[in-house]
Amino acid sequence: MWQELLKDIQQGNVKSLARSISLVENEVEGYELFLQGLPPSSTKIMGITGPPGAGKSTLVDALIGEMVLQHKKIGVVCVDPSSPFNLGALLGDRIRMSEWYNHPDVFIRSLATRGSLGGLHPKIIEIADVMKTAGFDHIIIETVGVGQSEIEIAGLADTTVVVVVPEAGDEVQTMKAGLMEIADVFVVNKADRPGADAFVKNLRMMLAPAFHRSTAEIAIVKTVASQKEGIKELFKKILAHQQLVQTTDRKYWLLAEKAYHLIQQHRMADINKTELKKQVQEMGDGNLYQFIRKYQ
């Protein structure tokens, strides 16, 4: 079954791709051997992250439009926050970007975080690698943009795009060091709002070599995604970054980060959250630290 699915995926069969993602997501028997048999791929992944309300989904929608105009095939993964009770998606990217769902050159998959504290789907690395075998020119992963997901996406994406808005003007002085470190391209979206130019100026100062450890230039692009403004320039900057030879020490740290997450998942595989809830319920008001000793 798995070999047939892989063959179909490589031939561009989106139904087989969707089915494979579901099988990997649900850890159906044989999925690990399937993953071990995936061929190498040069398809680049762009991660889109940033705080809620920055307009990430609108920006992704506009980027898809620009790529389609350039006759590219695009795979998109939208990671929604999920309910801590039933692990289902809360926001539902399924109702967004609806213009592209039936487009022959666009494949969109929406995933819930399933309670993952980092804000990414627990099987996002594996799902991304499955998608890389499907012959897409570009793959986009849009994160929830909460907690640690901004940092985690750097371990997955070849180019990390951090989306911010002018209202964060004062916050640029105290912006998380991690966020500054992982950005390959900064997007100042909703740049038609007051304070956009001042915000960009402050951001450039923060990214200057005297303040920032990175020697590579980090592009800053102003966009108004709802009006499709600045999108062509953004796509150019992303492509320029992806054409760089990524043989830096940072690349290997990011690969080590991916390996760490996969090993962590493997070691946690025998712990079922539903069963854990049942045991905690039976424990009542007992000491949680004594309870977890049996798992150590």
Same domain, 210 and 96: yes
H runs (alpha helix) in the chain: 2-10, 14-25, 31-36, 56-69, 124-131, 149-152, 177-182, 196-207, 231-242, 249-267, 273-283, 288-292
Q: What is the mean pLDDT of each run of 10 residues along the chain (296 residues)?
A: 91 94 91 90 89 87 95 90 44 59 89 55 84 95 64 76 79 57 88 90 76 68 95 96 70 74 81 86 82 80
Give CA–CA dist 122/119, Å, rounded. 9
Give CA–CA dist 267/292, Å, rounded. 15
Residue among 18, 133, 143, 157 nearest 73 (CA): 133
Ramachandran category for residue 183: left, alpha or beta (phi over 0 → left; psi -120 to 50 → alpha):
beta
Same domain, 230 and 197: yes
Instruction: Return the residue matching tokens 């398809």.
Output: 43
Q: Does residue 130 lie in a domain region?
A: yes
pLDDT at site 11: 92
State the total domains in the chain: 2
Instruction: Return the residue matching tokens 């897409």.
Output: 136
Cβ distance 59 to 47 under 8 Å?
A: no
Q: Which of 224, 242, 260 is the last residue of a domain?
A: 242
Same domain, 132 and 199: yes
pLDDT at site 235: 97
pLDDT at site 150: 52
Q: Which three-class secondary structure state does DSSP give residue 166? A: helix
pLDDT at site 182: 76
Give CA–CA dist 73/18, Å, rounded. 16
Give CA–CA dist 71/64, Å, rounded. 10
Q: Does residue 4 lie in a domain region?
A: yes
Same domain, 123 and 171: yes
Q: What share of the chain is helix, strand, coil (3-state, %, to 5)?
A: 50, 15, 40
Give CA–CA dist 277/97, Å, rounded. 36
Q: Does residue 255 lie in a domain region?
A: no
pLDDT at site 79: 82
The structure tokens listed for 71 are 């006759």
